[in-house]
Amino acid sequence: MAGLDSRSQQLYRRAREVIPGGVNSPVRSYSRYPLFVASAKGSKFKTVDGQEYLDYCMAYGALIDGHAQAEVIDAVEEALEKGSIYGQPTEMEVELAELIASLMPSIQMVRLVNSGTEATMHAIRLARAFSGKKKVLKFEGGFHGSHDSVLVKAGSGATLLGSPSSEGVPSDVAKNTLVSRFNDEKIAGKVIRDHSSELAAVIVEPVLGNIGPVLPKPGFLETLRKITLENEVLLIFDEVITGFRLSIGGAQEYYKIRPDLTILGKVLGGGLPISAFGGRRDVMEKLAPIGPVYQAGTYSGNPVSVSASLAILQSLKKRAGQLYSRLEKMGDVMRRGIGDHLESARITAQVNGVGSMFQLFFTDRPVTDYHSAKSADIRTYEEYFHSLLASRVFVPPSQFETCFLSTAHSEDELDATLDAIGTAVKTLPR
């Protein structure tokens, strides 16, 4: 019955023959088939079937000014005309590094790479080399890309040693990653102290974004900073989501904590692939060619991505005064509006978020860490997702992802979305 299928369904069938699962990143796979996108502008995307959706996924947080932002397009077009890659340094790279350092004072030196995965991988290697220690500590529910050292979950029983969260990750590698509980400063403190002689770094998303948004409890990040300093363990803030999103200086500015190293990505690229890791000069100077830590990349600092990054950061910097408070207000409107709808539909759920990040969790437990997030009912979320989809509102298909606002979302669109959410929650099982 191919004739009755939508173009998305037809493409999905073709894709599954030649692309594992039909998608190039597993989050894009959901029931019954992913929407295939033809174009996007501002707050909306259009599918290959010509239907328009209001987008609250925003490429998993990469877009803060919406799709196809004019300043980024102009910058990329101008850069492309001059050649897409040289394999030589450019003036733009220097400007971008200076700009990043000026926006995030903890970053004295920065290295550009192409993805968040690459950045955390290299930052961890760098931390190991700098400290001469080999273990790292991450938190349950924290996501730092898809390389071996971070595809690790808590081990069984009382052990804190990580075990692989993906086949193909050697347990010999995973055991060098310790896993602790987000928002539990007592356990984290004890792990850091007990393992300080072998612990190179603590890597943390200051706001967890990859199990839905989970905020740090007051004092949690401060304690991490204090105990890592006392024990000569590097503190790495993975700000791939929060960098330039929570504020122009990221979560470190928002929560007033100075990490040793920072990972940037997503918003940094204005929609193009670029990522970065940077921080203390004495640590960053360990990188090749001036130091013994090897790290390299053909496409690193390519002029197309760098031009997009410069365009978005310069533009955000100019507007930062109003932009972040406006996004925070929009986030409040969504969080409050969703809460009101849940209450009037008598649905028990939690609404989490900060700034332009939000999500609801179908659970009666406050969501403060991985375990409370995982208590959410994913079947109910799936119904909610499909109900919104029917209203042409696209939120992340997984309960354990974050919804993102952009400056391109209008007040009317937020109102219409809240109406759609009201309708969706009314039909959910109580």
Which of 69, 228, 262, 275 is close enough to bind ligand PLP by CB under 6 A? 275
Spatial distance between the Cα atoms of 137 and 70, rounded to a whole number of angstroms: 41
Contacts of 370 (CB under 8 A, 6+ apart): 139, 140, 141, 181, 182, 208, 211
Rank residues 122 and 335 by Cβ distance to ligand PLP and give the closer one.
122
Asked if 399 is part of the footprint of ligand PLP (rule: CB under 6 A), the reply reads: no
For ligand PLP, the binding residues in 238-267 under the rule CB under 6 A are 238, 240-241, 265
Asked if 33 is part of the footprint of ligand PLP (rule: CB under 6 A), the reply reads: no
For residue 272, give the amino acid letter: L
Tokens at 389, concatenated: 């989809």
CA distances from 33 to 6, 10, 29, 38 (A): 10, 10, 7, 16
Spatial distance between the Cα atoms of 68 and 102, rounded to a whole number of angstroms: 26
Whole-number minimum distance, CB 157 to ligand PLP, in Å?
A: 28
Nearest to 335 by CA among 254, 240, 429, 215: 215
Asked if 143 is part of the footprint of ligand PLP (rule: CB under 6 A), the reply reads: yes
Asked if 309 is part of the footprint of ligand PLP (rule: CB under 6 A), the reply reads: no
Angle made by CA atoms 130, 216, 126, in degrees to the nearest 5: 10
CB 388 within 8 A of CB 421: yes
Count of positions (residues) in the chain: 430
Tokens at 258, concatenated: 């100075």
Task: Select the span of 34-42, 111-119, 278-286, 287-295 touching ligand PLP (CB under 6 A).
Answer: 111-119
Asked if 115 is part of the footprint of ligand PLP (rule: CB under 6 A), the reply reads: yes
Which of 209, 243, 278, 331 is close enough to bind ligand PLP by CB under 6 A? 209
Asked if 144 is part of the footprint of ligand PLP (rule: CB under 6 A), the reply reads: yes
Asked if 270 is part of the footprint of ligand PLP (rule: CB under 6 A), the reply reads: no
Asked if 140 is part of the footprint of ligand PLP (rule: CB under 6 A), the reply reads: no
Task: Select the span of 78-86, 109-117, 175-183, 416-424 touching ligand PLP (CB under 6 A).
Answer: 109-117
- Residue number of the CB closest to ligand PLP reads 116
Binding site for ligand PLP (CB under 6 A): 60, 115-117, 120, 143-145, 205, 209-210, 238, 240-241, 265, 275
